[in-house]
Chains A and B, each alone.
Chain A
Amino acid sequence: MTLNIDTPAPPKRTGPRRSSGHRGSGRGGNALTRFDLRATPYFLVSPYFLLFALFGLFPLGYTFWASLHDWELGGDKSFLGIDNYTELIADDGFWNAVVNTVGIFIISTIPQLVLALMLANALNKRIRGRLFFRLGVLLPLVTSVVAVAVVFTQLYGRDYGMVNWFLGFFGVEPIEWQNQSWTAWIAISTMIDWRWTGYNAIILLAAMQTIPKDLYEAASLDGASPRRQFWQITVPMLRPTLIFVVFVSTIGGLTLFAEPVMFEGNPTMAGGATGQYQTVAMFIVKEAFRDFDMGYASAAAWMLFALILVGILINYSFTRRIGGKK
């Protein structure tokens, strides 16, 4: 596949081949070589798996164990069974956080994907300074989440914010963005979209460039308009990459934390006066480190995992259908 991009193409055959000192004593000729062939691969992957077991796998299991207890740090740890989970399912605060998280996810992801597709299509055209444009749309990715949130929160300020100032020209009264859930969701969604749209566009662009050009040539000979070509050829061919992009967005969106915390401007993790933008990740941190109910927080963490699995399944079945009938 030819990628007409400026890539650090892996040097193909530059490995200095120093056929050194000990020349081959025949393949597998001695025990040492056989041991090397068999054991070294495991030795090479072992650092990853050892550290992962310690800081990834062990915490997963431990969190589950903690979720079955009334777990206090350094204190009482009495077994509860599934009580934390049943309590959680009856907890309006938890469902509020779920609704906020899913709501923000939906109103951020859908426009983001549409914009990323349009942007990728524009970047795929022949134009001078293509690297410049690619770098330009990736620039937001380089800024930190915290910086983005600080800038946008100021832009959304009620009295001095640029957004209200701008809306004022259209006769819109100053909006208190933090006060209502839907305005807060929109504000937070723009932070996410500003940072990630360009990145997703670049990923989609990479995939677009692998689509054989003769498909388009054939289509134009048949008289298909560029718009039609985009929906009938480009989008269906992008399906695997779209699945990947949606997959990553789902995990990122459902674990949303830094933006709403910075938007709130204080570390209470409440997500506004009535929790109108408290996300599940904030809920977990609040339960664990503000209310010190670690067992409950652990149960919420496992529920978050379940939520992500459901989200991935739904998105997968949805994305799979994009342009599928053809």
Chain B
Amino acid sequence: MTAIQTRRRPAGSASAANRIWDAGPLTKVVLAFALVLSAFPIYYMFIMATRSKDEALDTPPPLLPGGRLGENIQQLLDNENAYFATGLINSAIIATTVTFSVVVISTLAGFAFAKLKFKGSKILLGSILLTMMVPLQQMGIVPLYEMMVNLGWTGQIQAVILPFLVNGFGVFMMTQYTTQAVPDELVEAARVDGASTMRIYTNVILPAVRPGMAVLALLTFMQNWNEFMWPSIVLNPDNPVVQTSIAALNQAQGTDYAMLFTGTAVSVLPLIIVFVAFGRQIVGGLMEGAVKA
């Protein structure tokens, strides 16, 4: 990532009024407690994934890793109800495709809304904000399902890809980002030089908004990797996404918690890796978006 990092320390230090910004003991306790609460369920999940079916039911539950991770993964992949490997592949394809589409479409629209003057732009942008209030997923299930039946696509992953190809949040975020990442004069200057709109897009806008695109890509990928309701309706158990595959494990009689937790651990691992690698950008992107919103 080519993001330029600006790390500014709070200015000034010693004055008495400033001392209230130093973390006191209470603050440290609150933060430590929050960290433990945040991490514990994830830690617990990974511990259970290394334990046997019986150990998972011990009270008190085991809190240290065991040695059965390999066997649990093997069992998970062999499970005849879950189609877990298929689910992983499907989720990867769906999330990647949707992310690509959302980022490209949002960047194009964000450029237009942020830097170009055209009739109706305010109304169009406002309409996008309004639609963010509508529970499109819940309201769309009947017609979208019927649409997929008519196309003969139920049970196939394109049925999960299509409805998610655009979202209002992406356009909104890229509009905000482009507004502040690209100075108007830069666009003006390129115009004077005779550049066409598309050339301005490729040569001026794209290089400047890349960090914003990265954050949007990560958020979109996460969201689609985690999608549950619509896939559980439109896909069949033998061709699932990773989340519905886990739901199938969960629904099996006499749940094997060790295997179930192995499934959830494997399903969140890619996200955690991405999060650790790009954490700084994600936090920064979220905070920037929040202030502008």
Contacts and interface: CB of A to CB of B under 8 A. Distances in A.
Contact of B182 (A15, A40, A44, A153): A15
Interface stretch (A102-110, A154-162, A179-187): A154-162
Interface string A124-168: 111100010111111111111111101111110001101001000
Interface centre among A1, A66, A139, by most chain B C-beta atoms within 10 angstroms, is: A139
Contacts of B201: 44
A142 B16 CA distance: 39
A147 B105 contact: no
A262 B250 contact: yes
B287 A206 contact: yes
Contacts of A49: 124
Contacts of A88: none
B144 A59 contact: yes
B151 interface: no
Nearest to A259: B228
A213 B20 CA distance: 11
Contact of A220 (B20, B197, B283): B20
A122 interface: yes
A302 B139 contact: yes
Nearest to A54: B162
Contacts of B284: 5-8
30 contacts: A1-B291, A6-B284, A7-B6, A8-B284, A13-B183, A15-B203, A16-B203, A17-B204, A23-B193, A48-B166, A51-B166, A57-B131, A62-B143, A63-B143, A127-B22, A127-B23, A127-B31, A139-B38, A139-B39, A145-B243, A146-B264, A147-B268, A150-B260, A165-B60, A165-B61, A194-B37, A262-B247, A289-B145, A294-B142, A309-B133
Interface in B157-179: 162-163, 165-166, 168, 171, 177
Nearest to A244: B293
A285 interface: yes
B72 interface: no
Contact of A142 (B133, B182, B222): B222
A315 to B, nearest CB: 12
Interface size class of A (residues with CB under 8 A): 35 or more
Kindly list the 7 A-B residue pairs having the minimum CB-CB distance in the complex, ordered from nearest: A10-B181, A24-B194, A8-B3, A7-B284, A206-B287, A59-B140, A147-B264
Interface centre among A62, A147, A207, A217, by most chain B C-beta atoms within 10 angstroms, is: A147
Contacts of A165: 59-61
Interface string A257-294: 11001100111000000000000010011001100001
A55 B250 contact: no
Contacts of A84: none
Given A133-B31, A297-B142, 6 more contacts: A11-B208, A17-B186, A42-B118, A146-B228, A160-B58, A206-B288
A326 interface: no
Contacts of A18: 203
A282 to B, nearest CB: 10
Contacts of B247: 146, 261-262, 267
A215 B1 CA distance: 37
A133 B222 CA distance: 21
B140 A55 contact: yes
